[in-house]
Amino acid sequence: MTVEQIRLRYLFLLGIRWFPVGLTIPVLVLLPLERGLSIAQVGAVAAIQGITVLILELPTGGLSDAIGRRPVLLFAGVVNVASLAIWTFADSVAFFAAAYLLQGVYRALDSGPLEAWFVDHALAADPKADIEGGLARSGVVLGLAIAGAALISGGLVWLGPVGPMSALTVPVCVALVVSAMGTLAVALLMHEDRPARGVVAFAASVRGVPAAIGGALRLVRRSRVVLALLAVELFWSFGMVTFEKLMAVRLSEVTSPDAAGALLGPVNSVAWAASAAGAALVPLLTRRIGAAWSGFTLKVVQGLTIVGMGLFAGPAGVIGAFLFCYAMHGAANPVHAGLLHRQAEGEFRTSLLSLNSMVGQPGFSLGAIVLTAIAAGAGTPTAIVVGGVVLAAAAPLYLIRSKEVFREHSQAGTSRSLAL
């Protein structure tokens, strides 16, 4: 395949992967509450997903590097369909816990293989391929898929129940169908050149999981650039609590709880569209000032928008800063991913992506604990400002350079060297 064909398949598979997420986001909390769970029980079962991802993130990344991206994504798709199927009828803590557990397994399996497949094959087709441009387009597709699906989800709920299904169940059922179609699309569109398969070959590949994980960890130890990028992810995830968790509280403070509840749905949909717009502008920025300086600039500006969320007194200012923050967030994602891929080796690529994602889990958890404690003691505006400052403080880490230039690719789009 040409680089363009690889990119088109990647973007299509990415869009169909995230569309079901947009369908379910508006009902994730409301559906369990409708079926009898308390808000505390909803929080407890939701935590199962995060814990599962944290435990499985790195092993599943190593599995993808060892046995291939395609089989891991196919298995992930089956697990996701099973999780959504349980969601359609779950009516107890045990059933919802099982659904979240499977969702955590799915998120861990799904974290990285598709992106690694795109980069590996694009570089195999052309070692000078513009992977940053492809990753920027992926940000556009992701944002538009979630924004559009969230609007459709609201429309489905507004239309009311369908037969025995409640209005809140309808988007989950549609997400189930789309997810099954997405798994089929992976089977049909995602091709991978791998050694001969069989029980013996599979067992040998699985035995390679620890080696893949070890390779990623050695890459971190030997590369100060990779270590800096992981530190950025840690600071970034800490600051994300401000616009993912504290935004709703802040908006209710400058309006009212009822008004905030009515505004958050459409505002979040527009925010994802803004994220897509930000990602679309990445190629222009990186061509002008380079990827490292783009990351630096975007982190500083995003930190300032978060500070604005905390300091502005009216709803227009808070919402405007929130939307601009999401635009910067959407732009920063492909820049960060591109810089990480430039340091990654194909045979350990997914393991490194999983390690980056895994670092974000404790970063977000720590931010949730610290910033909510600050909000309770000193007020929400103070907590938001602190989160924005911490996020922006990571910006200089993008400017760290490695002592040697490492960019070696084999014919398969992977590198066998660990020297940096």
Domain span at residue 284 reads 210-420
Cβ atoms of 191 and 125 closer than 8 Å: no
Q: Pick the last residue of a domain from 207, 225, 243.
A: 207
Residue 212 — pLDDT band, cuts 50, 70, 90? low
* Residue 181 shares a structural domain with residue 280: no
* Residue 142 shares a structural domain with residue 216: no
Q: Where are the alpha helices (DSSP H) in 281-348?
A: 282-289, 291-311, 315-343
Could you give the CA distance from residue 350 to residue 155 in angstroms, rounded to a whole number? 37
Q: In the prediction, which pLDDT does 360 show?
A: 81
Q: Pick the last residue of a domain from 182, 207, 232.
A: 207
Locate 247 and state its tokens: 């935004």
Question: What region, left, alpha or beta, does residue 400 occupy, with left being phi > 0 and alpha being psi -120 to 50 degrees?
Answer: beta
Q: In the prediction, which pLDDT does 154 show?
A: 78
Q: In the prediction, which pLDDT does 406 show?
A: 37
Could you give the CA distance from residue 129 to residue 390 in angstroms, rounded to a whole number? 34
* Residue 181 shares a structural domain with residue 244: no
Could you give the CA distance from residue 419 to residue 276 in angstroms, rounded to a whole number? 36
How many structural domains is the chain composed of? 2
Average pLDDT over residues 29-36: 82
pLDDT tens per residue across span 223-281: 788 889 999 999 998 999 898 878 878 888 888 766 765 676 688 788 888 988 898 88
Average pLDDT over residues 61-76: 83
* Residue 197 shares a structural domain with residue 238: no
pLDDT tens per residue across span 335-383: 998 888 777 655 566 667 777 877 887 788 788 788 888 888 898 899 9
Q: In the prediction, which pLDDT does 329 show?
A: 94
Higher pLDDT, 302 or 165: 302
CATH number of the domain residue 7 falls in = 1.20.1250.20
* Residue 172 shares a structural domain with residue 305: no
Q: In the prediction, which pLDDT does 56 show?
A: 83
Could you give the CA distance from residue 290 to residue 8 in angstroms, rounded to a whole number? 25
* Residue 197 shares a structural domain with residue 227: no
Q: In the prediction, which pLDDT does 257 show?
A: 67
Percent of the chain having pLDDT more than 70? 85
* Residue 154 shares a structural domain with residue 216: no
* Residue 201 shares a structural domain with residue 217: no
Average pLDDT over residues 37-47: 76
Average pLDDT over residues 180-207: 72
* Residue 183 shares a structural domain with residue 223: no
Residue 168 has pLDDT above 90, yes or no: no
Residue 416 — pLDDT band, cuts 50, 70, 90? very low
Q: Pick the last residue of a domain from 175, 207, 239.
A: 207
Average pLDDT over residues 117-123: 87
- Classified as helix, coil or strand, 167 is coil
What average pLDDT does the chain have? Answer: 82
* Residue 94 shares a structural domain with residue 241: no
Average pLDDT over residues 303-313: 94
* Residue 148 shares a structural domain with residue 55: yes
Residue 407 has pLDDT above 60, yes or no: no
Could you give the CA distance from residue 398 to residue 298 in angstroms, rounded to a whole number? 11
* Residue 112 shares a structural domain with residue 144: yes
